[in-house]
Amino acid sequence: MNVPFAEIPKTGSHYTISDDAWLAETGLLRTAPVQAELNLQYKGESRAEVEGFLRTVVRLTCDCCLRDYDFAVNAAFQLVLEVPDEANWKVKELECTAADFDVVQVDEPIADLEDILRQQLYLSLPIKQVCSPECRGLCTHCGADLNSSGCTCSSEVKNSPFAALAALKKR
């Protein structure tokens, strides 16, 4: 849904989004309903403020054990959409501090709500996707899942490429 800045009322506008069509472009599988609310405030022909939240649950794959797990997304956000002024490219003073809002440069004075939700979803995902802090991962030798069962490799003595040097050191 695209909302031109000029169509945002001076009092602002509120959007409730439960449609998940925008989520298909992310390649993520949703396992719970999408709940999103956005408030748009008109701040001039070239600026609009967006405040809102996004809640859903997506299916991720653990980087350690390769199992799928559900990750709850609960993202609150505040940002400023701004069309850069070609005549004056310097950073302009905002009505708020930089800690309050993120400034997003847009090509046209249009708020693409679906794109904003996609960006917030990606920003809320963990860098390292781990199913739990106790995840033990896979055995590096046989590939067994160490969370569900042990493997016989852990009891075996591993041949290190430096074993010959260790033997020389013992002499």
pLDDT tens for 48-102 read: 999 999 999 999 999 999 999 999 999 999 999 998 876 444 455 444 554 445 8
Residue with tokens 């591993």: 158
Residue 9's SS3 state is coil
The region that residue 143 occupies, defined by phi over 0 for left and psi between -120 and 50 for alpha, beta otherwise, is: left
What pTM does this model have?
0.77
Alpha-carbon gap, residue 147 to 88, rounded angstroms: 58
Q: Where are the domains of the chain?
A: 2-135, 136-171
pLDDT tens readout for residues 70-82 = 999 999 999 999 9
pLDDT digits (tens, 9 = 90+) for 1-25: 899 888 999 899 999 998 888 888 8
